[in-house]
Each structure stands twice: as structure tokens, then as C-alpha cells.
């Protein structure tokens, strides 16, 4: 009986201590960023040319600089050819991530740093009859880091530029593939203060 009381007391203390932070300010930001994506595996890189990604995101700023958010990375299917017979192939890589971070606001500019956790989905399809029964289709999770700058020309609008690194290794069969890489993103978004 003593344990639930201790948990309740600790929770109450944390909530009371954090109340001034939550009550001081709340900002909701929605944005869309776009930019090139790199992939470490040279075979994937040379075959498919990773191209660019879209990154819509929604985040909540709590108090003075604390941020939590969610984002989704997506792109068009990357096309290439594989093997001796140059079989047409498609490769897709997308991911959903949650993150927390800190934004330091200085008048019209803000610098941010974020760390998070992402779940990434990959799929390769090859138009060749002998590999139809060997699909490459799966998911993997990883931590990730991001940093960048935002410029607020108006209080409700921002422009952003940032970099995100995703360390991602997958093993669809018996061979490890390194899908790690940088994303260099530029974007536009709206901010709403409450």
C-alpha cells in the first residue's frame, strides 16, 4: 500500500514543479520541409540515387524553448536497374518520428536542436521473375538527431533550414544494408501562440 502512495506523491510533486512551465506559454507549429537525402550504402546510392524527401511536421512548444513533435518523411519511389539483365527496380524509404528538443529564440531568429526516435519502412520491388518470391519489405527503428535555424519574418510565419542524421541499418535477409544518411531540409511553416 505504501508504493502507490509514493508514486502518487512523486507524480504530484513533478506536476506542481512543472506547472509554471506549462502555464507560461504554448506554441503550436506546423511546417513542411523539403530537401536532399543521402544513403550510406554505395550500392543503393548508385542504383537509385536517393533524391529528395518531403517532411511535414507538427510540434508543440512548451514554456521557454522546450519542444515536442512528430514528423513524417516521405518521397517518391526511387527507380533504378539491377543485375546483369538491367531489370527495372523500385525502392521506397519513409519514416515516422517523434522528437523532443530545445529552441533558443532571439528576436526574429531561432536555433533549435532535437533528438528523437523514428520508425522507418523500406520496400524494394524488382521486375524479374526469379526474385518475385524474395521481397525486400520491412521496417526498422532508430534514434536520430537534428539541428537548424528558423527565421520568423512575422510572428505567425517561419522559414527553416536544418540538417537531420538518421543512423539506420537493416538486414532483410543475410546481408546488412546501411540506409543511414543526412537530410538537408529547407521549409516553411506557421506558428500559433496560446
pLDDT digit string (tens) for 161-186? 999 999 999 987 778 889 999 999 99
Radius of gyration over alpha carbons of the chain, in Å? 21
State phi, psi for 128 to the nearest 5 degrees: -150, 125
In the block, residue with C-alpha cell 517532411: 55
pLDDT at position 9 is 52
Query: What sign results for the dihedral spanned by CA atoms 10, 12, 17, 23?
Result: positive
Chain-centroid distance of CA 185 in Å reads 11
| Domains of the chain by start residue, with CATH | 25-193 (2.40.160.20)
Provide the pLDDT confidence category of residue 1 given band limits of 50, 70 and 90.
very low
In the block, residue with C-alpha cell 518520428: 97
Provide the pLDDT confidence category of residue 11 given band limits of 50, 70 and 90.
very low
Per-residue burial over 162-194, b if 16 or more Cβ lie within 10 Å, else e, is bebebebebebeeeebbbbbebbbebebebeee
pLDDT at position 79 is 83
Amino acid at each position: 500500500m505504501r508504493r502507490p502512495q509514493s508514486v502518487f506523491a512523486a507524480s504530484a510533486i513533478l506536476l506542481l514543479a512543472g506547472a509554471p512551465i506549462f502555464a507560461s506559454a504554448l506554441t503550436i507549429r506546423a511546417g513542411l520541409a523539403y530537401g536532399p537525402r543521402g544513403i550510406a550504402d554505395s550500392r543503393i546510392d548508385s542504383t537509385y540515387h536517393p533524391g529528395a524527401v518531403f517532411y511535414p511536421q507538427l510540434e508543440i512548444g512548451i514554456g521557454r524553448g522546450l519542444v515536442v513533435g512528430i514528423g513524417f518523411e516521405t518521397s517518391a519511389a526511387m527507380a533504378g536497374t539491377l543485375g546483369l539483365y538491367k531489370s527495372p527496380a523500385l525502392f521506397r524509404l519513409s519514416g515516422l518520428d517523434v522528437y523532443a528538443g530545445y529552441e533558443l529564440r532571439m528576436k526574429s531568429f531561432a536555433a533549435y536542436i532535437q533528438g528523437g526516435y523514428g520508425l522507418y519502412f523500406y520496400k524494394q520491388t524488382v521486375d524479374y521473375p526469379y526474385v518475385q518470391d524474395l521481397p525486400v519489405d520491412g521496417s526498422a527503428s532508430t534514434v536520430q538527431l537534428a539541428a537548424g535555424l528558423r527565421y520568423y519574418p512575422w510572428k505567425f510565419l517561419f522559414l527553416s533550414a536544418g540538417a537531420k542524421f538518421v543512423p539506420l541499418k537493416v538486414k532483410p535477409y543475410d546481408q546488412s544494408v546501411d540506409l543511414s544518411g543526412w537530410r538537408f531540409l529547407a521549409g516553411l511553416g506557421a506558428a500559433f501562440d496560446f
